[in-house]
Structure 1
C-alpha cells in the first residue's frame, strides 16, 4: 500500500535520484561478479516495486469506489466540500490526517474502544507527543450524519468554557469523518450515578459541585457565549468528568443557535432522548432555553437520587422519577429521595434546596421555569427563599406516549439513553 505522494521514476531530477533496494546477501554477491547483472536486477527490482505500488493504488481506488457505492447518496461522499465550508466559517481548528489517528488508536483497536453511540464508536488514542485523545468516528449506520458533524465543529470550536468539552480537531479523509476531543479519564456521569458500585465514589460534595458546573456551562451557552445555543440533548451520558471530577457538557451535534433577540424556535423533526425532553419540545417541536432548563432539572433529580427518570419504578405508584420527587416534596418527605448509597449529606438543607430547584426547572409550562441565570443564583445562595414548584411535565411517563401518538409532526426520538458515543466518556 502506497500512502505518500507518487514519484515518477522515469523523470530523473537534475542531480540524479537514489533508489534503495532491499535484497538477499546471496543476490548481492552475484551482482558484484557482473555489472550487467546488477543493472538488470536494478531494472527488474524497480519495476517490481513500481508495479506493486500501482497495484496498491488500484486496490485502494477500487475499495474507495466500493465504499462510496455503499454509502449511496450520503452527504459524506463529498468531504472536501465540507472541509471548504468549515474554512469559510473561519473555524480555527487543526485538522488531523487519517494515518495519525489510525496510529494513535492502534488502528481503531477494540481494546481502545470507549463506547458506541448514535454518531458512531469512540476510541481512546495517544498521539506521538504523548497527548491522550478521544476519537469520535462517524459510522456508516449512524442515525446522525455529516450535518451533525459539521454543526458540532462550528459550535464547539467557537466556545471556550471550563464546563464544556474541548475539541482538538477533526479529520475528513478517505471517506472517514472523525472528531478529536480531549480525553476525559473519568468518562461520563451516568457511569457513576446509576451504578451501585461506582456511585459511592462521588460523595455529596462532588455531586453538588457537578450540578453547579453543569449549570454554569448551560448559562454560558444561553447567555454569555458569542452565540445563544440550545443544546437539546442534555443528559447524564453527555456530561463528561475530568480527572478532578469536574463536569463538561459534550455532544453538540443537534444543538441550535439563536441570533439577535430570538428566544425560541420550532422543528418538525424532534430529536433527543426520552426522559429529558420538555413537553413542549417532545409534543409540539417547540424548543427554547427553557427546554434545556427542563433537561437540567431532570439531571439534578437524577444526580441527587441516583435513579434514572426513564424506567423508574416504585412499589407504591406508577409515577416516573419526576412525579415521585414532586410527590415526596409536596408531602414534606423530600429527604427520602436522596441516594442512600453515599450516606447522609453534611448539609441536608442544601441538598433539599437543590431538589426544589430541580422541581422548579421541570414544571409543565416553560414560562414557569427559571432561566439559567436564576438557577445559578438559587443554587449558589442558601438564604434566598424559593418559589413553590408546580406539578412537573410528564408527571407520569405514559402521558408521553399517549400524547406523541396524536402529534401531527414527525417525531424522531432516541429510545435509549446513549447517543453519540456516550456509553463511556471521551
Structure 2
C-alpha cells in the first residue's frame, strides 16, 4: 500500500463486502481521500494500516447493519440522459445536474451517449462532453451513429443517417478530443470495414448495432474488430484484450430466425467465444426477463454488460420528453416515438440489476455485468467497478433487497440534493 496523506480522512466500512465475484462476510473496505486503500478480511486490516503509517485513532469506522452489503459503484456505458435532461440538447449545467443525480442513484460512472443528429449538433455535443470528461463528470462519450442502417434505425432520426465516411468519422473523433470511447455502427453499410479499422486506430471500441446485416456479414465484422483490437490493444498484465461490443442486443436488428439468423446469431456466437460483449437492457420492456436469464446462462456474465439506454425521462414520471431531435412520449415508464418505436429506457442501473436478479440471475453475476464488465470496456479495469486497493473510492451501501442506502463517489458521500 502506498503511504497515505494524513490530511486525508480514513474511513473503514465493516460488514458484508462484494470482493471480486464473491460476497464475503466479516470484511472491510478502507478509504482515504478519493481511493480505496484496502479491501479484504478484517484480520488483514491492522497490518495494512500500520504499513501505511495510519494509527487506529485516525480511522473512522462505519459498521453495516445486518443484511447490508458494500458493492462497487455501478458503471453505465450507454446513457442518453435522465431527470429531464437530454444529453444531446443540454448545456453543461443541465448535464452536470442530471449526472449528479445519476451518481446519487448508484451509477457512479457514466459514459454519455449521443444519438444521431445533424453534424452541428453532434459537434456541439462532442465538444461539451469532452469538457465534462476532462472534469471527471463523465467517463467519455459513446456515439450511437450516424453510420447506422435506415432499415433498423429505431429511434434514430433517419434524416441524419449516412454510410461510413472516413473524413467525417475523423472529424467526429477529433471533436471528442480523445474522449470518444465507443461508436455504434452498422456492418451492412458500404465502408463499414474501413470504419472499424479507423476506430480501432484511434482506440475507439466498435459497437455493432442498428443493423440489418446477415449473420455472415455481422460475424465477419465482429471478427475483424476483435482481431484489430487484440492486435493493437492486447491483454495487459493478465487482463483480457479489448473486444467489440454489440449495442442493445436484439433491439435495432432483425429478429433471430431459423432460416435467416442475422446479426443476433453472430453476436451470440462471438459473445459465447469471448470475442464480443453484448449489451442487455434488462428493464423488462426492451427484453423479456426470461431472455435476460437465458443470456446469462448461455453467454456468462463476463460477456454481458447491462446498460440503461436511458433518456430524459429516466428518474421522472410519465410525460413528453426529447431524445436528441425526436419528441418522445412516456407512458407507464415506456418511452416511444409517435411511430411506436421504443425510444430509450427509463430505468436506472440498479433497477436493471434487481430485474436481472428477479429473472433468476445470481446477484454476483448481475453486479459483475454492471461493474467489472463495463469498466473493462472503458479500459478502466482495476480503477472503477471494483472494491480493491488502488481503485477509485466509488461504492454503494445496499440493503438486503439491494435498495440503495448510501453512495460514496470519489471518496465523497453524496445525495440527490
Question: With structure 2 as the length reference, what TM-score do the two structures score?
Answer: 0.26
Structure (1/2) with the larger helix percentage: 1
Structure (1/2) with the larger strand percentage: 2
Q: Specify the structure having the higher radius of gyration (Cα).
A: 1
Question: With structure 1 as the length reference, what TM-score do the two structures score?
Answer: 0.26
